[in-house]
Amino acid sequence: MDKEIVVNNIKLAFAEVMLGAGIGLWEAQAIDDYATEEEQKRNRDKDEKEAWNRLNCEDLQRCHSSLSFFDAEGMKFHLPAYIVASLENNVDDPLFHLTQLDEYAKSKLTALNTVQRRAIVMYLEWCLEQEEYEFEYPVIRRALGEYWKV
């Protein structure tokens, strides 16, 4: 499968997604840092809220731990940015957050619609074709079978 097809599929599936009331990138980083609610609010003021494709790759990489602190709307907004940036070799991949699916991790994926879920399945299937992910094959296959393709 061609990487550009995966990138375009992600971009189309998430094209109109906005952050809304979801947890933003810098807000999540403040949560990770055990910041006060006031600091979290200040960080939220810095967050991109309208277009995930405007997120800076350096910021995404710097805030990679934010993936652990998004709510469902925050994950829906930021996940395509992480996937596309990782496919372009600009950030670490978000595979852990798509394959290590305990109840908390699943709760962060509940805002995804069918088209978005299919785009993520395409990404995971692409990963299965890449030798660099060979050690991840078992967890990717398990996640696809138990969660993503159900």
Does residue 72 carry a pLDDT above 80?
yes
pLDDT in tens, 111-136: 999 999 999 999 999 999 999 999 99
Report the C-alpha gap between 26 and 11 in whole angstroms: 22
Which is more confident, 74 or 150? 74
89-115 burial: b if 16+ Cβ within 10 Å, else e? eebebbbebbbebeeebeebbebbeee
Burial class (CB in 10 A: 0-12, 13-18, 19+), 129: exposed
Contacts of 1 (CB under 8 A, 6+ apart): 122, 125, 126, 129
CA pair distance 67, 76, nearest whole angstrom: 11
DSSP state letter for 50: S
150 pLDDT tier (thresholds 50, 70, 90): low
State the pLDDT at residue 124: 98
pTM, two decimal places: 0.96
